Amino acid sequence: MTRIDARFAELRAAGRKAFVSYIMAGDPDADTSLEVMKGLPGAGVDIIELGVPFTDPMADGPTIQLAGQRALAGGMTLEKTLAMARAFREGDDVTPIVLMGYYNPIYNRGVERFLRDATAAGIDGLIVVDLPPEEDDELCIPASNAGLNFIRLATPTTDDKRLPKVLQNTSGFVYYVSITGITGAAAAEAGDVGPEVARIKAQTDLPVIVGFGIRSPETAQTIAGVADGCVVGSAIVGEMARGRPVAEVLAFVRGLAEGAHRA
C-alpha cells in the first residue's frame, strides 16, 4: 500500500473528501517553494502534487507555464525537484507526494535511474501527462513495479470506448479534468462534472479527484461534493506569483481545503 492508498483509506474511514494541492517546484524560488510545501499539510492538504518545470508544458495554461519559466530561470531541475522532496521528507513521512510533469526530463535521466531516485526521495505517484496508455511499457508499468502509483487523466472527451484503456494500469486515483482545455482556463461546474465522475466510477474502484477550474472554497466544496475530492493548482500558483508572503499563501490554501472538507 502506497502513502496515497493509505491516505484515501483514512479519508474514507473519516467520511471526508480529499483536498489535493499543486505547486511548481522552484517557483518563485527554491527556498520559498520548499517553505510552502512544508506548510501544506498543516493547511489541510491531503496530497501534494509537485510540478516539475518543463520548457513545453502543453497541458498547462499561462499561470503554470509562467511558474515553470520562473523556476527554470532560477535553476530548478528534475534533480533539484527530487532534492526538494527529500528535504520535505525529513519532517513529514506520511503526506503523499505526486510528481507531475512531462516525460522528456524523465527520459533524459533514464527511466530506471529516475524510478530509483524518485522512490528514494519519497515520491509516491506520478502524473506524466504526455504519455498515453499505448506507451504504458515506457514508464507506467515500470513505475508500478517500483511501487509508485501511476495516475492517469480522464477528460470530458474520454468516451466510453476510450475509458477502459485509460483505466487499465492506473492506480492511486483517477484525475478527472473538469474542462476541455488547459489549466486555469475556465470554471468547473458541478452539474457538468457529477455525471462524468459517476461514469468513471462505474468502471473503477479508484477514487476520482477533479481538477482544473477550481479557484474558491465554494467551488472546492461543490466539486468535492460530486467526487472523492478536488485538486487546486493555478489559483495557488497565482497567489505565489503575486508575491504573497508564505503565511498568506497557506491561509489561502487552508480556505480551499476547508471548502473541500465541508463537502
Active site residues: 49, 60
Give the span between the Cα atoms of 25 and 162, in whole angstroms: 32
How many residues in the chain? 263
* 177: Cβ contacts below 8 Å, ≥ 6 apart: 153, 154, 155, 156, 211, 212
Q: How many CB atoms lie within 10 A of CB 14?
A: 9
What DSSP string describes 176-235? EE-SSSSTTSS---HHHHHHHHHHHHTS-SS-EEEESS--SHHHHHHHHTTSSEEEE-HH
Asked if residues 28 and 76 have their Cβ atoms less than 8 Å apart, the reply is: no
Burial of 157 (0-12, 13-18, 19+ CB in 10 A): exposed
Measured N-to-C along each axis, helices 217-224 and 246-262 cross at an angle, to the nearest 10 degrees, of 30
Q: Which cell goes with 71?
A: 523556476
